[in-house]
Structure 1
Amino acid sequence: DEKGNRLGGTVIRFSPELKTKGQISEEIGRVMAKVGRYCAERKKPLIMEDLDTTLAKHGMKYGCKKKNRHASLFAYRKMT
């Protein structure tokens, strides 16, 4: 709304696991096209945070393998 409160939303899932770099890029393209259509249908802008994940990834040397893999596969730069 005009005060910045969230009015609604949707979840669009995708899984980058067990995919090549090219397949991940294609999947991100498809998902972002869905996001674009969702915003256009509602005549609302897309707002993204400027995330810096380098510090978060730096301290993961001994963390859970699955969690570390998910963070490494996070494709924020590709989405922007």
Structure 2
Amino acid sequence: MSLTTNDGFIIETHDTRRAGDGDKITRWIVLALDETEALGLLKAEMPDLDHRIVASGDDIRAQARRLGIEPGTYRQTDMTGLSPQSDR
């Protein structure tokens, strides 16, 4: 699956380290130049976790900008990918 290289991305982080509890999934909205930079931002701070791009596009870029996310940064979101919870 190839995603377009817009600068708005939704990335899911899966934490499989918690035995017996199943995966803990965290969703992020990321504003980056491309897929590589978007994934790299999260991998740099959380290298032991599995990060996957689940969506990208102009609508995500527009939402990130409305939320005040700066290029090269990300913010945790609720599961809809629209409500901010914390900045990075």
TM-score by structure 1 length? 0.25
Q: Which of 1 and 2 has greater Rg?
A: 1
Name whichever structure is richer in strand by fraction. Answer: 2
Structure with the larger RCO, 1 or 2 (CA within 8 Å, 6+ apart): 2
Name whichever structure is richer in helix by fraction. Answer: 1
TM-score by structure 2 length? 0.24
